[in-house]
Every structure is written in C-alpha cells, then in structure tokens.
C-alpha cells in the first residue's frame, strides 16, 4: 500500500501543470543607445556608455541581450523584429532605450538617428511608438514586459512643427508591464555632460541589490535620482505586473543559471507608483496618413503566436449620456474629392514643400522627398497632389508599405474605395500586422459599409494600441451601424475623452 501510495503521489505531481519558466534562456533584452543625431548640435555623450553598461549588467542577470548603437530606422525595425521573434509564452522581454524621444498625439516615440522630422506626421513615420512595441511583445506571449526609457531630453525636432510640448507622455500598456521614464511626464532634462546619465547610474546601483522585486528596484532608483538631483529630476513609473519579478533572483545576490519558476499568477493588479497627471491638451490633429496603429484583422495574415487577451481599453467612469441614434450612411457629397483642396501653385511657397520640391527637382527619383511631400500635401487637403507623389514613390519602389498605406488612406478620403482596399491589402501582405495599414483599412471598410470587417480591423488595432483614438472612434461608429448602439456610444465617448478633435477629424474624411 505504501509503495502504491508513493507511486500515485508521484503520478499526481507529474500531472500538475507547471508555470512557465523564467529561466535565463527565457529572458530577452534589446538595449539601444542612440547618440549621433545629425539634427542635434553635437552627439549626445551619455547614451552609448549607458547602453553598454546596462547590457553588461543584464547579461550578468541572465538576459540574452542584443545591443544596438546609433541605429537608423531600418536597423531599429530589424532589432525590434528580432526581439519579437525570440519571444515565447511566459518570456521576460526588456527594452532599454537612451536617445531622443518625442510625444505626439498622446503617444511616446523613440527616434532613430536618421529621423527626418519636419511635420508632426513625420514623428509617426520615423519614430517607434512605445505602446506599439509593448503591445507586440504582449501579442507574442511575453509574461513580463519591461521598458526603461532614458529619452526625456530636449530635442531639436519639436519646435519645427507645433507649439512646444516637452518630454514623454503616459503609456497605456498591457497587463504584466513595468515602464520607467528617466524624468517626469512632459518634462525634460539635459545631459550632465559626463560619461553616464544620473538615471542609469542610480538604476545600475539598485539592480545590483539582491533579492529586490523589480518594482522596488525602480522605486529605489526613482528616489536615488530625485535625491541626487535635489528634486530637479523625478523619474516616472507605471506598473501592471501581476506576478513577482526580480532582476537578480536567488538569495545572497547569487545569479543562478536558471531562476525558480514564478508563483501562479495572481489576479491582475495595478501598482500606481507616481500616477500620471491629467494628460495635456491634445495637439492639433496630425495628418492621418502617418497615423500609427492598427492590428491584424481577418483579411490579414495571422500572427504566429497565439492571441493574448485584449489589452484593457480606456474607460469612462462618469455616467454616459443616452446613446445617440445609429449613424446614417455617409452622404457622398460630404466627402472630399481628389480635385478639392489647394493647388500646387497655392502651396509652392510653403517652406516644407518648397524644400522638398527643390530636392525632387535635383533628383526626380528621390523617394524620401516624394513620399514626404505626399504626406504634406495630404495634411493640407491637396489629395490629388498627394496621390501623385505616392504613385511616383511606388513607381520607384513598389514594396514601400508606408507609401501603400498612405495612398490607401488618401484614396479612402476621396472615395476611391476599391483602389484603397487594394493598397491596404498589399501593404498587409508585405507586412502582416502593419498597424497603420490596418487602421486605414478599417476606415475603408467603414466608408464602404462593410461594418463587420471594419470592427474586426479596429478591434485588432486596439489590441496592440488601446490609445489609438482613430480606431476607437471608428469602431464606435461601426458598432452603431451594426446595431450595437450602446457599445458604439461607449467607444465614441472614450475616443472623444482622449482626443476632443476626433469628431472633426473624421468629418474631414467625409465620415459623420
């Protein structure tokens, strides 16, 4: 009997499901230090040394680390794609970035060294949305997602295209995420002129303390930076971790080759370390062609990893007014036409257009200048001129997914829905999960009356980026047209709370 009992006990234990291992092999980090920005007066002194030291420390802590220095946009995209490809369910994924960051439309963007920013839409073309990065890591199954962002520097780009808005903005991240900025929201700090930033000095000091949970490590870092700067620099932290995680697991500061399995996940809890203040007033609506975020819908190829639960959507706690009646179909007469808007002659003296036109005159195949001029034309309502520039861009490079997405959007606005759908589908064939094209395709489906397809596109977009107001508002309209008046009203109210200009923006597309 005793032998049988022991055998049965062992059998039962073998059948108990184990939690995903957070072993050294399951810890992945991407560390980026960008210092040489041509638009800056001089290279930044701190990011390269900071990135190297952080990478060395993470390697000692059992992370598999990829390091990038002075990465261009293409190199940053490849680096992120490589990180995404490593993620397995239950992995720990960490991103460290030191360089220039910028906020636009209430999102924070990390900038590559070759970013060419003259209009606000350029931010979303050249920058990398932190929320989109975290959403992609989540969709791949990462159990713990950590972002350490040292990008709250005064940068040379912002004053070019809008009223000055400094620093970074709050991030809406999926559950299981820990985010830290080196400075408070909407504030900037200057490089100290030394070899390392104060933020990284304090961060490394606290990471090396054994047996601290990650949240405590970052809180101690925040206090250290605040003390050392005499209150002039106060980092910002946001956490939605649902399980314990330590940079250095094990007792006595040891760094074992593998870490113990985590405890079974508890109910999700949000730890508000330094809750964000009310968000700043939204900037003027940026041109839609470069809007970033949307996610896979049925017509797009499915992601390789299993889909996670949807990220939490922003909610409005106040009682909502009675839902409005379902939106009526669009009156085609309200939509802009390809022939509407200012002429090339009327825009010839615009400084940005003038400079880009000069470049194109020197080199008619300057694909970047053609694309950017198309963006500017679209932002000013010169849709026929924009489409022509996107046509020329695609003549030179038929696989330019950004140009395909922008032409899709512009064709949608002027009512060429068949051409628009073809462009969006091709962009998604070339880059599955391309959020910009999926958001644009949602608009195509909304305007064409395919509301179920529109809802699917907008749903997928919001799983990656819950703050994408164009998808949230578009989904609300689509739900109302599909008969779900109250659900649609909630989406619309949430979108308007995040961006009061969203109704006017959609009206400019001919959608009311």
- Which of 120-129, 247-256, 279-288, 360-369 is predicted with the least confidence, judged by mean pLDDT? 279-288
CB-based contact 437:424 (threshold 8 Å): yes
For the chain, the helix, strand and coil percentages under 3-state DSSP, each to the nearest 5: 45, 10, 45
Pairing of strands 107-110, 236-239: unpaired
Q: Which of 62-66, 86-90, 143-147, 288-292 is predicted least confidently? A: 288-292
Q: Summarize pLDDT for 385-440 with one digit per residue, the tens.
A: 999 999 999 999 999 888 899 899 899 989 999 999 999 999 999 988 787 788 89
Q: Which helix or strand (DSSP H or E) is residue 454 part of?
A: helix 451-464
pLDDT digits 0-9 by tens, 39-68: 887 889 899 999 999 999 999 999 999 999
How much is the pLDDT for 234? 92
Distance from C-alpha of 185 to C-alpha of 197, rounded to nearest angstrom: 18
Q: What is the pTM of this model?
A: 0.54
**Strands laid side by side in the 64-69 sheet:** 64-69, 27-33, 92-98, 144-150, 177-181, 236-239
Residue with the larger pLDDT of the pair 309 and 389: 389
Instruction: Kindly give, in sequence order, each residue whose CB lies less than 8 Å from that of residue 320, ignoring residues fewer than 6 positions away.
Output: 489, 490, 493
| 276/463 Cα distance (integer angstroms) | 22
pLDDT attached to residue 483: 95
The pLDDT score that the predictor gives to residue 19 is 40
pLDDT value for 279 = 43
Spatial separation of the C-alpha atoms in residues 283 and 261, rounded to whole Å: 45
What pLDDT shows up at residue 249?
66
Largest CA distance in the chain: 96
229 DSSP assignment? T
More confident residue, 37 or 307: 37
The answer to whether the beta carbons of residues 148 and 133 sit under 8 Å apart is no
Task: Give the chain's length.
Answer: 512
> What is the per-residue pLDDT across 167-211, written as a single tens digit (0 to 9) for each?
788 888 889 999 999 998 877 876 666 678 999 999 999 998 887
pLDDT value at position 250?
A: 55
Write the CA distances from 457 to 297, 382, 429, integer angstroms: 5, 27, 15
* Portion of the chain with pLDDT greater than 90, in percent: 44
Give the pLDDT confidence score for residue 291 in this predicted structure.
39
Answer whether 95's CB lies under 8 Å from 101's CB: no
**Domain ranges in the chain?**
24-253+262-284, 332-508
424 vs 417: CA distance, rounded Å? 10
Question: Can you tell me the mean pLDDT for 352-376?
Answer: 87
User: Which candidate, 86, 53, 61, 218, places its Cα nearest to that of 146?
Assistant: 218
**Alpha helix segments (H runs only) across 87-164:** 120-126, 130-139
Express as a percent the part of the chain with pLDDT over 70.
74
What's the pLDDT score for residue 377? 86
Cα–Cα distance measured from residue 326 to residue 284, given in angstroms and rounded to the nearest whole number = 28
- pLDDT tens digits, residue range 11-35? 444 444 434 444 444 999 999 999 9
Contact predicate 133/80, CB 8 Å:
yes
Supply the pLDDT for residue 220: 93
* H-run or E-run covering 490: helix 485-498
Looking at residues 459-470, what average pLDDT do you find? 79
Only one residue has tokens 């379902």, namely 326
Cβ–Cβ under 8 Å, residues 296 and 465:
no
- Where do we find the tokens 């034309």? 377
- If phi > 0 it is left, if psi is from -120 to 50 it is alpha, else beta; for residue 314 that is beta
Q: 101-123, pLDDT tens digit by residue? A: 998 878 899 999 998 887 777 88
Check pLDDT > 70 for residue 334. Answer: no
Which residues lie closer than 8 Å to 365 by C-beta, 6 or more apart?
A: 396
Contact residues for 98 (Cβ-Cβ < 8 A; gap 6+): 32, 33, 34, 46, 47, 50, 51, 150, 151, 197, 200
pLDDT digits (tens, 9 = 90+) for 200-240: 999 999 998 887 899 999 999 999 999 988 888 999 999 99
| Whether 245 contacts 263, CB under 8 Å | no
The CATH superfamily label for domain 332-508 reads Tetratricopeptide repeat domain (1.25.40.10)
Fold of 24-253+262-284: Rossmann fold (3.40.50)
d(Cα 317, Cα 196) in Å, to the nearest integer?
43
User: What is the C-alpha separation between 219 and 235, in angstroms, rounded?
Assistant: 9
Given the structure tokens 């164009």, which residue do they identify? Answer: 470
* Strand (E) or helix (H) holding 109: strand 107-110
Contact call for residues 218 and 180 (beta carbons, < 8 A): yes
């Amino acid at each position: 009997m005793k032998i049988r009992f022991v055998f049965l006990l062992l059998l039962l234990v073998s059948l108990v499901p184990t939690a995903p291992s957070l072993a050294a092999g399951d810890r992945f980090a991407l560390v980026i230090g960008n210092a040489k920005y041509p638009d800056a007066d001089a290279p930044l002194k701190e990011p390269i040394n900071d990135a190297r030291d952080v990478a060395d420390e993470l390697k000692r802590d059992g992370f598999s680390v990829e390091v990038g220095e002075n990465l261009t946009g293409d190199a940053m995209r490849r680096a992120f794609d490589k990180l995404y490809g490593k993620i397995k369910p239950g992995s720990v994924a960490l991103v460290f970035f030191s360089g220039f960051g910028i906020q636009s439309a209430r999102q924070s963007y990390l900038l590559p060294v070759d970013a060419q920013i003259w209009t606000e839409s350029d931010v979303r073309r050249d920058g990398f949305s932190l929320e989109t990065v975290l959403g992609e890591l989540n969709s791949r199954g990462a159990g713990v997602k950590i972002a350490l962002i040292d990008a709250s520097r005064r940068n040379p780009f912002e004053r070019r295209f809008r009223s000055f808005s400094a620093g970074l903005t709050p991030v809406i991240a999926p559950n299981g995420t820990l985010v830290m900025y080196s400075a408070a929201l909407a504030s900037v700090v200057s490089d100290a002129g030394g070899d390392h930033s104060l933020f990284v000095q304090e961060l490394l000091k606290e990471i090396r303390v054994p047996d601290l949970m990650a949240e405590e490590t970052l809180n101690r870092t925040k206090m250290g930076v605040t003390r050392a700067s005499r209150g002039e620099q106060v980092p910002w932290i946001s956490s939605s971790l649902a399980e314990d995680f330590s940079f250095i697991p094990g007792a006595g500061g040891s760094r074992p080759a593998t870490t113990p399995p985590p405890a079974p996940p508890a109910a999700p809890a949000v730890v508000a370390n330094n809750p964000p203040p009310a968000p700043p007033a939204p900037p003027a609506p940026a041109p839609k062609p470069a809007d970033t975020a949307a996610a896979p819908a049925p017509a797009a190829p499915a992601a390789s990893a299993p889909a996670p639960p949807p990220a939490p959507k922003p909610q409005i706690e106040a009682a909502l007014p009675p839902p409005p009646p379902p939106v009526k179909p669009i009156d085609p007469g309200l939509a802009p036409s390809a022939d509407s808007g200012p002429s090339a002659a009327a825009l010839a003296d615009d400084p940005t257009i003038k400079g880009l036109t000069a470049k194109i005159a020197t080199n008619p195949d300057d694909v970047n200048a053609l694309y950017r001029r198309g963006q500017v034309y679209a932002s000013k309502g010169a849709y026929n001129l924009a489409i022509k520039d996107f046509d020329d861009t695609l003549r030179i490079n038929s696989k330019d997914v950004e140009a395909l997405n922008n032409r899709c959007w512009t064709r949608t606005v002027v009512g060429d829905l068949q051409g628009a759908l073809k462009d969006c589908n091709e962009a998604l064939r070339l880059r599955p999960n391309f959020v910009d094209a999926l958001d644009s395709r949602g608009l195509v489906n909304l305007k064409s009356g395919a509301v179920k397809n529109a809802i699917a596109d907008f749903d997928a977009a919001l799983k990656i980026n819950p703050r994408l107001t164009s998808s949230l508002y578009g989904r609300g309209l689509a739900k109302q047209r599909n008969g779900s008046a109250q659900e649609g009203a909630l989406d619309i109210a949430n979108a308007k709370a995040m961006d009061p200009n969203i109704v006017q923006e959609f009206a400019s597309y001919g959608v009311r």
